[in-house]
Amino acid sequence: MKVLIACEYSGTVRDAFIRLGHDAMSCDLLPTDVPGPHYQGDVRDILNDGWDLMIAHPPCTYLCSSGLHWNKRRPERAAQTEEALQFVQLLLDADIPRIALENPIGCISTRIRKPDQTIQPWQHGDPESKATCLWLKGLPLLEPSNELPLPESGRWANQTPSGQNKLGPSKDRWKIRSQTYRGIANAMAQQWGAL
């Protein structure tokens, strides 16, 4: 299968598909973190290159619920949210038979459409919590591949006692938080790559 992993610099999802024999390429404005097939540039440049499957990870900065409260305080952010929504719609409307678009809980659900499902890393073998919505076209729901029980502490490895993400502020926090968990990447490759 010819697979485009849009808005991915980490290579995590790309490499999961490559390991299973697919012709996969990541694309992002940033360079790839690990060597492999990667187009550094705007995904619109290659969107119509005959892909069989696209998994898209559009930036969530102006889309996720945790940041939308800033739109009323900083009007320029509201305009950036509108641009981000237009980009999401462009990806969802791409002439590609199978599409999965992932993003945290946010305004895509209210402004474009509700997600087809919400997944968690702990459903795929990573002992962490991060609700991730999936909007699907031509794909089945992603089935749990390795569900883990909640630890005795009552919280996942990435949570503080109050349930918040315990990753402290840093210049790379956004980059670390945006990476796809390896278990989810492997489940996508195994389940959707077998279609």
CATH number (domain holding residue 35) = 3.40.50.150
In whole angstroms, give the CA distance from residue 146 to residue 125: 5
pLDDT at position 162: 67
Q: What is the DSSP string of 2-18?
A: EEEEET-SS-HHHHHHH
pLDDT at position 167: 62
Domain that holds residue 133: 2-192
pLDDT at position 107: 87
144-184 pLDDT, tens digit each: 999 999 999 999 888 877 666 766 666 775 565 668 999 99
The pLDDT mean for the chain works out to: 90
Model confidence at 68, pLDDT cuts 50, 70, 90, reads low
Nearest to 49 by CA among 28, 30, 25, 29: 25
Domains of the chain: total: 1
% pLDDT > 90, the chain: 73
User: Are 104 and 126 within 8 A, CB to CB?
Assistant: no
Model confidence at 124, pLDDT cuts 50, 70, 90, reads very high
18-32 pLDDT, tens digit each: 999 999 999 999 999
177-189 pLDDT, tens digit each: 668 999 999 999 9
Higher pLDDT, 138 or 68: 138
Q: Which phi and psi (to 5°) does residue 7 adopt?
A: 60, 45
* Cβ-count burial 151-162 (b if 16+ within 10 Å, e if not): eeeebbebbeee
Average pLDDT over residues 133-139: 98
